[in-house]
Chains A and B, each alone.
Chain A
Amino acid sequence: AQTVTQSQPEMSVQEAETVTLSCTYDTSESDYYLFWYKQPPSRQMILVIRQEAYKQQNATENRFSVNFQKAAKSFSLKISDSQLGDAAMYFCAYRSALPETSGSRLTFGEGTQLTVNP
């Protein structure tokens, strides 16, 4: 079974600064997807960024980028120029790329609560 671990229950950053959230995972599969989701206080989960394991290039979405280290099974999220609206719970998630019946579930980490200080 796959597991996802986020070792930082809480992080804080000053507005306009950069922060990195850590995630490690365990899997025996070679093909999979990794995600970062954001859950603001309103509780609706929003996809921030996605990485395909077969791609060596790290994904980037505006101020959000990842550092994907496949051999180390590490997937960190970097938020640049942090904004007050970035304050939320962030979850790292894994999804297998195996064929249909076993490839759909998301496995989440425990989450990191990010505070952005003005």
Chain B
Amino acid sequence: DTGVSQDPRHKITKRGQNVTFRCDPISEHNRLYWYRQTLGQGPEFLTYFQNEAQLEKSRLLSDRFSAERPKGSFSTLEIQRTEQGDSAMYLCASSQTGQRQYFGPGTRLTVT
């Protein structure tokens, strides 16, 4: 069990650019979650996958956001045409169905 990993840990981008984050879950976990955490707030749910299927999306996930988990292993979260309001920590978590979620260290996005 090597834990959930995320890459990059930090990303600085200019407004209007596209960014992509990667999450590698714990290998035997079939569920993968994305959350967004702004400074001083608790994480907010964005979306989750069971294997390769995206089963739920929050209304926070605007059409500029897209997430994939093509082979049911790692996942990517892409933000197109970034805005300053997208600046946040993006957290990934994984779990077995119905079990506890294990969180990664997060990717901190700063949009200038």
Measured CB to CB, the residues of A under 8 A from B are 4, 37, 42-47, 50, 91, 93, 100-111
Closest chain A residue, CB of each to CB of B45: A105
Does any Cβ of A come within 8 Å of B23's Cβ? no
7 more A-B contacts (CB under 8 A) besides A43-B89, A108-B42, A111-B40?
A37-B103, A44-B105, A45-B93, A105-B45, A105-B56, A108-B43, A110-B40
Q: How far is the CA of A47 from the CA of B102 in the complex (A)?
A: 8
A47 touches B100 (CB 8 A): yes
Chain B residue contacts of A46, Cβ below 8 A = 103
Q: A44-B103, A104-B56, A105-B33 are in contact. Are A110 and B42 (CB under 8 A)?
A: yes
Measured CB to CB, the residues of B under 8 A from A are 31, 33, 35, 40-45, 48, 50, 55-56, 58, 89, 91, 93, 97-98, 100-106
Chain A residue contacts of B45, Cβ below 8 A = 105-107
A101 touches B100 (CB 8 A): no
Closest chain A residue, CB of each to CB of B47: A105
Determine how close the nearest CB of chain B comes to the CB of A9; give it in whole angstroms: 8
Q: How far is the CA of A67 from the CA of B47 in the complex (A)?
A: 31
Q: A45-B91, A45-B103 are in contact. Are A101 and B44 (CB under 8 A)?
A: no
Determine how close the nearest CB of chain B comes to the CB of A82; give it in whole angstroms: 22
Q: A45-B103, A105-B48, A105-B56 are in contact. Are A110 and B33 (CB under 8 A)?
A: no
Which residue of the partner chain, among A43, A108, A111, contacts B44 with CB atoms under 8 Å?
Answer: A108
Q: How far is the CA of A37 from the CA of B93 in the complex (A)?
A: 13
A100 touches B100 (CB 8 A): no
Chain B residue contacts of A42, Cβ below 8 A = 105
Q: How far is the CA of A4 from the CA of B100 in the complex (A)?
A: 18
A50 touches B100 (CB 8 A): yes
Which residue of the partner chain, among A91, A101, A102, contacts B42 with CB atoms under 8 Å?
Answer: A91
| Leading 5 A-B pairs by shortest Cβ distance | A108-B42, A45-B103, A105-B45, A44-B105, A91-B42
